[in-house]
Chains A and B, each alone.
Chain A
Amino acid sequence: MSLPYSEKVIEYFMHPKNVGEIDDADVVATEGSPACGDMVKLYLKVNPETKVIEDIKFRSYGCASNIATASIITELAKGKTIEEAKKITWKEAAETLGGLPPAKVHCAVLAVDALKTAIENYEHKMGLVKEKKPTDIEVVKKRLRHVINPLTGLDVLKVNFIKDIKIEDGIITVFFNLDSDHQFAENIKSEIKEMLEPLWDVKEVRVIFNDELEEQKK
C-alpha cells in the first residue's frame, strides 16, 4: 500500500493525542477556518509562575495531515515553557511526523501558527507584550515564509514566486511571478491573503499575477 502519508501521520490521524477542550484554559486560539478547509483550535493551561505549558488540548477540522500535525504540536509543546514552545517550527513538527507531502506542509504551518497565536494571546492577557510593530516589508516577508508552494513544499520566497511587494496606506500589493492559470494560483493567492490580512494595520491585500500585470499595462 502506498498512501502519501508516513506511518506516523496515519497513526496520529487514526489515534490523535490530547483531543478535546480544557474547561479552565488560560487561553484559546483558533487558526484557519472551515472556508479554507483547515481549522485548528488550541486550549492552553500555563503555570503562572514557571510559564510552563502544563496542559494543552486541540480540536481540528481538516484533512489527515491537519489532524496529525495539530496532535503532534500538542505533544511537542506540553511541558515546555512558553519561550521554549515559541521556538517550535513547522519543520520540526513535520520531521517528527516522518515528513509530509509537499502539498500538505501548510498543515504543519497552520498548527505551529495556532500555537504561536495562543502564546501571543497569553502574553497579551498577562501584560507581557511589547508595543505593536507597524507592518513593513520585513514583517510581510516573515509572514510569507509561511505560505508554501504545494508543488515543492518550500515557501513562496524561497522558490522566487514573489517579484515585488508594495505597502501603501495599509494596502499590501504582492506581485507574483506566475500566471493566473497556474495550477495552484488560486490556492496560493488565498493563502497569502489569509496570512497578511490579520495584521493589525492592514486594510487590504492584493495579489497580482504576471498576466494580470500585462493586462493592466495594456
Chain B
Amino acid sequence: MSDTQKLMQVYLDNNAATKVDESVVEYMNKYHLEIYAVASSQFSHTPGIHAKEGVDRAHQIIANKIGSKESEIVFTSGFAESNNLTLKGVAQANQDEKRNKIIVSSIEHFSVLHSAQRLSKNGYIVELINVNEEGFIDLEHLQTLLDDKTLLVSVMHANQEVGTIQDIKTISEIVHSKGAIFHTDCTYSFLQTDIDVNDLGADLLTISADLVHGPKGVGALYVREGTKIEKIIDGGYQENNLRGGPENVAGIAGFGRAVEIYKDEHTEKTRQLRDYLYRRIKEEIQDIQLNGSSDFSKRIANNLNISFNRIEGESVVLHLDMRGIAVITGSACFSRSLQASHVLLAMGFTHERAHGSIRFSPSRYNTEEEMEYTVQNLKEVVAKLRELSPIK
C-alpha cells in the first residue's frame, strides 16, 4: 500500500483503554475552565461548594448504577489503585486479627496479584485459585483453600484478556460462609453486563472510568458499610476518609457523566460487531482456537481472543498495525516482562498457544466495514506468516 493512500484506522483495544465520549470531554471542560476550585466542605466558598456538588453528583450516579449507597463509593485514580486499596487497606486494618490468609484467582490483574505478593512478604499467606481451560474459577479448589483463617478473597468478575465472566454470586456465597471479606474487580464487566453489589454479594468492588469511555486516571471502589478497611494514601479526610488528597473533580465528574449517558444498546452494538468478526474469521481462516468461554453469554460483549496456530503474535500485531489495525497479543515478545500472558498460562495453555493469541476488542465506535477490513487483512497476514513458519 502506498504512503499516500490513507489507511483505515481500526481501534480494537477497548479492553485496555477506550475513546472518551465527546460529550464527556465537554462536560469535564466545565470543571477545568469554570468550576476548578478544590472540592471542599459546605462551609467553604461558593466555587468550592460547586466543585463538591460535581463530585457528589458522580457519587449519586455510580451508586444508582450499582445499587449501593452514595457514601459507599470511594473515588480513586483508577482500577489499579482501587485494587491496591482493597488488598493493602484490608490487610492493614485487620493486622491484629487471627485471619492471615488472602486468596485471589490466578488470572487477576497484576494490581491484585502483585499486591498479594507484596503482602506475602509481610507475613500474609497468599493462595491462588486455579481456573479451568475456559478461564472459570475452580469452585472446589476455592473451597479447599478457604478456611476460618481467610481474611479476604478477590475474584475478578470478567477477565480482560479472555473475557470470561465468573459466577460471582455463587463465589461470594462460598466466601461468606467462612466469614471472609469478598472483593470483585468489575473493571472489565462494568456496563458490559448488569452489576448490582447486593446481587453479586460484594463487600468491595472495583470499577474504572477508562474502560467505559470515560477519562483515564479515575476509578472507584465500592466499600460496603461496616467493612474493615483503612486508606493507603494519606492527605486528608476525602472520600469518606478512605482516600486522602484533593479529589480529581473533573475526572470524577467525567466518570459520572460517562456512566450516565451509557445505553444498553451500546453494548448490543459492540456484541454484534464482535460476533460478526468471530463468524467471519472462522469462515476465512483455518487452524484457529477460541480462547476463553465458548458460551458467549459468559463472555463480555467487547472481547474476542483467538490463537492462530503456528505463528507468533507480535508479528501479527506489527503487520496489522502497519495496516491501521490496533490489537494486542498474549505473546512473550509483546510483554514488558518477556513472559507469555499469565492468564493464558493459568488456563493451562501451551506457550505456543499463548504466543499465537490475539485479542480483538471492539466498541460502539467501530463499524461492520472496519470488522470486514480487519478480517481481510488478518487473512493475508496470517497466510504470510504461516508461509514463513518452520512449523507445519
- Which A residues are within 8 Å of any B CB, using their own CB? 3, 13-14, 16, 19, 30, 34-41, 59-64, 66-67, 103, 150, 181, 183-184, 186-187
Contacts and interface: CB of A to CB of B under 8 A. Distances in A.
A195 to B, nearest CB: 15
A154 B332 CA distance: 19
Contacts of B319: 14
Interface of B: 117, 310-312, 314-315, 318-319, 322, 331-334, 336-340, 350-352, 355, 387-391
A41 B390 contact: yes
Nearest to B338: A187
Best-buried of B338, B339, B391 by chain A (most CB within 10 Å): B338
B311 A37 contact: no
A41 B389 CA distance: 9
Contacts of A184: 337-338
Interface of A is mostly: mixed
Contacts of B339: 186-187
A119 B310 CA distance: 27
A34 B315 contact: no
Given A19-B388, A187-B339, A61 B310 contact: yes
B331 A34 contact: no
A60 B351 contact: no
B302 to A, nearest CB: 26
Contacts of A34: 310, 312, 351-352, 355, 391
A63 B336 contact: no
A150 B351 contact: no
A62 B337 CA distance: 17
B353 to A, nearest CB: 9
Nearest to A35: B351
Given A13-B318, A184-B338, A187-B339, A59 B351 contact: no
B315 A59 contact: no
A37 B333 contact: yes
12 contacts: A13-B318, A19-B387, A37-B340, A37-B351, A38-B312, A40-B390, A62-B314, A62-B315, A64-B315, A66-B315, A66-B333, A183-B337
Contacts of A61: 310-312, 388-391
A41 B339 CA distance: 23
Nearest to A188: B338
B390 A39 contact: yes
8 closest pairs, A vs B, by CB?
A59-B390, A41-B390, A63-B314, A63-B333, A34-B352, A187-B338, A35-B351, A37-B332
Contacts of A19: 387-388
B314 A64 contact: yes
A13 B385 CA distance: 10
B390 A60 contact: yes
B333 A181 contact: no
B332 A187 contact: yes
B351 A30 contact: no
B122 to A, nearest CB: 14
A30 B390 CA distance: 9
Nearest to A59: B390
B315 A63 contact: yes
B352 A35 contact: yes
A121 B340 CA distance: 32
A150 B389 contact: no
B390 A36 contact: no
B3 to A, nearest CB: 11
Contacts of A60: 388-390
A41 B388 CA distance: 10
Given A60-B390, A61-B389, A183-B336, A36 B315 contact: no
